[in-house]
Structure 1
Amino acid sequence: MNKLIYLYGLIPSKEAEQSEVPSFKGFDQVHDGRTEQFGRVTAVISELNPEEYSEEQIKEKVNEMEWLHEKAFHHHEMLMMLEKEYTLIPTKFCTIYSSLDSLKETVTQYENRMLDLFESLKGKEEWNVKIFSDDKQLRQSYGENNPTVMAKKEEIAQLPPGRQYFEKRKLDQLVDREMELEKNRLCEKIHEDLLPFSADSTVKKTWSQDVTGRDEQMCWNSVYLLPQEKIPAFKEMLQKTAEEFAEYGWKIEPTGPWPSYHFASLTAGEEIKNGSAPAN
């Protein structure tokens, strides 16, 4: 029976020839990983026993947290290693082909797309920017400085005491509404300021506090494909912005470089997709 093929990612054959991929243990930590050249595209792979890594078994294993953490970490560490040395098209966690011929068929079918991706990714890095807000601190700031809120406070102060109670409750709602509008405006402004540094970008969903485990609220989450020569200026601008707004309750957190998960989209043939790239 043919071995299954676990695919980590794809690199240009020219780069693989110039610098050999270091030896490594494969996904199952039994088989040695290796490269397989298909013309101008080289795949970084490892073999798996079909008795242990069938589609049904993988679906069961991804529900085992210890196994999932160990294997996802291995996959990510492999991609981080490859990203440092090669122009990389990373594949999703648990991308498995039924055979080497199946992988070859996919690479042959999408070779031109892969070569285009290599060209667009070369010399670039993916960076993630998350923006968090301390809503308690922000609410106090907007309650004291927002013109709309200040005008409403003055209006309430002129009312009889009985009406002031009900209007103050409306005031709290107004502060929350103005704060949300300002949060959106500021995040979009920062994003617009970062676009000139990037060759491509995308805005992602924000995470809830249950996911982040933080007291602050995540109000922005975006990724940028940055030419390496623009990264210092990108980071400098973010640092200045973070320092400027820190006293108002903002935290701006860039991370990277990451494998180009968000800018190397590639439709593949016989993939078993039982997970996803580490979430930025």
Structure 2
Amino acid sequence: MTGLRYVYAVCRPFGAALQSQLRGVAGDPPRLLNHHGLIAVVSHVPETDFSEEALRARLEDLDWLAATARAHQQVIDALTVVTTPLPLRMATVFRDDSGVRVMIEEREDDFRRTLDRLEGRVEWGVKVYVEADPESAAQPAQPARRAASGRDYLRQRRMQTRAHEDRWARAEELAARLHETLSSRADDTRLHAPQNPALSGAAGRNVLNAAYLVRRDVSEEFVEMVDRAKDDVPGIRVELTGPWAAYSFAGEETAREEDTGTREKGVGPPEEDAGEGT
């Protein structure tokens, strides 16, 4: 199959075989390109979808973007089972194998340092949400009590505001305490911006959106620590996702686009919840 080269990740050589039925973006099976003692995991993608002009238009197609993100994540997940991959941004594309080799040579030192830091580690995501008032959620059909006077109405509003502020304060306290506890078992952490519920579709308001780089041999203990926090405070929800390849710790913010006859185009890792990472 001819076409452009889509690069999923860089890793060190590994002995285990990838799943024989594994398919990547555009349905092409991934292959391993060995250069300077590093492995780039690549597949072929059609220029009609991944040329610079075509990709710009495709990124407006949410169905296509979601399918591409799922295929990208599927390959990363398969790699995470057999090795420690350094995932690249989704839609990192080059014209040919030579372009991939040039990329490896230009970023070889960074790749090796990052792979050393990620070796034997995975990423866990933890989110804390403030849920809707449980009394209001339990009685959605009952109309609000009619205020007898303006003063009564203001009193009701103050009580509602105070209850909301108390719940938010408890959530922030739990999130801070949980983050400190989990950080003690992680080698590194990232605090991401709270998710917008209109975009994420998650119920409640997001208080904590964090990623933790955790050694595989302490991951079970890490998960147990999160589980113990889930029932600490009524009306506050704790969610755990993972283990993922270490998207949040891959150092992709240092990547450069070079005009050397190849093209690298990145649109960010797939969201962990959709596939998903960040």
Q: Same fold (TM over 0.5)?
A: yes
Aligned to 2:243: 257
For residues 252 and 108 of structure 1, do their structure 2 counterparts lie closer, same or farther at Cα, with a shift above 3 Å needed? same
The equivalent position to 1:224 in structure 2, one of 197, 212, 216, is 212
Asked whether the 8 Å contact 1:204–1:221 carries over to 2, the reply is yes
Asked whether the 8 Å contact 2:190–2:211 carries over to 1, the reply is yes
Mean CA deviation greater in 45-54 or 127-136: 45-54
Aligned to 1:176: 164
Alignment of 1:104-183 (within 5 A): 104-137=101-134, 166=154, 169-183=157-171
Alignment of 1:1-280 (within 5 A): 3-13=3-13, 15=14, 18-23=15-20, 24-29=22-27, 31-137=28-134, 166=154, 169-245=157-233, 248-266=234-252, 267-269=255-257, 270-279=263-272, 280=276
For residues 109 and 77 of structure 1, do their structure 2 counterparts lie closer, same or farther at Cα, with a shift above 3 Å needed? same
For residues 255 and 166 of structure 1, do their structure 2 counterparts lie closer, same or farther at Cα, with a shift above 3 Å needed? closer
What runs of 5+ residues in structure 1 fail to find an aligned partner?
141-160
Give the drift of 1:173: 3.3
Mean CA deviation greater in 117-126 or 264-273: 264-273
Q: Secondary structure at the match of 1:240?
A: helix
Cα distance in 2 for partners of 1:32, 1:78 equals 9
Matched residue type, 2:208 = W
Asked whether the 8 Å contact 1:129–1:255 carries over to 2, the reply is yes
Give the drift of 1:55: 0.9
Asked whether the 8 Å contact 1:135–1:249 carries over to 2, the reply is yes
Listed one character per residue, the Cα deviations across residues 175-234 of structure 1 (whole Å, up to 9, x for unaligned) are 433433332222111111111110011111222332343443222111101011211111
What runs of 5+ residues in structure 2 fail to find an aligned partner?
138-148, 258-262
Q: Secondary structure at the match of 1:83?
A: helix
Aligned length: 253
Cα distance in 1 for partners of 2:153, 2:52 equals 63
Cα distance in 2 for partners of 1:261, 1:135 equals 31
For residues 41 and 175 of structure 1, do their structure 2 counterparts lie closer, same or farther at Cα, with a shift above 3 Å needed? same
Matched residue type, 1:259 = A
Matched residue type, 2:193 = K
Aligned to 1:149: none
Matched residue type, 1:42 = I
For residues 268 and 240 of structure 1, do their structure 2 counterparts lie closer, same or farther at Cα, with a shift above 3 Å needed? same
For residues 103 and 138 of structure 1, do their structure 2 counterparts lie closer, same or farther at Cα, with a shift above 3 Å needed? farther
Matched residue type, 2:43 = S
Q: Secondary structure at the match of 2:194?
A: coil
Give the drift of 1:98: 2.5
Q: What TM-score does the superposition give when structure 2 sets the normalisation length?
A: 0.81
Q: Secondary structure at the match of 1:276?
A: coil
Cα distance in 2 for partners of 1:243, 1:171 equals 25
Cα distance in 2 for partners of 1:113, 1:234 equals 28
Listed one character per residue, the Cα deviations across residues 36-84 of structure 1 (whole Å, up to 9, x for unaligned) are 1111211011123434431111121222233222221111101100111
- Aligned-pair identity in percent equals 21
Kindly name which structure, 1 or 2, has the bigger radius of gyration based on alpha carbons: 1
Cα distance in 1 for partners of 2:62, 2:108 equals 36
Q: What TM-score does the superposition give when structure 1 sets the normalisation length?
A: 0.80
Q: Secondary structure at the match of 2:251?
A: coil
For residues 101 and 73 of structure 1, do their structure 2 counterparts lie closer, same or farther at Cα, with a shift above 3 Å needed? same
Cα distance in 2 for partners of 1:22, 1:60 equals 32
Cα distance in 1 for partners of 2:136, 2:178 equals 20
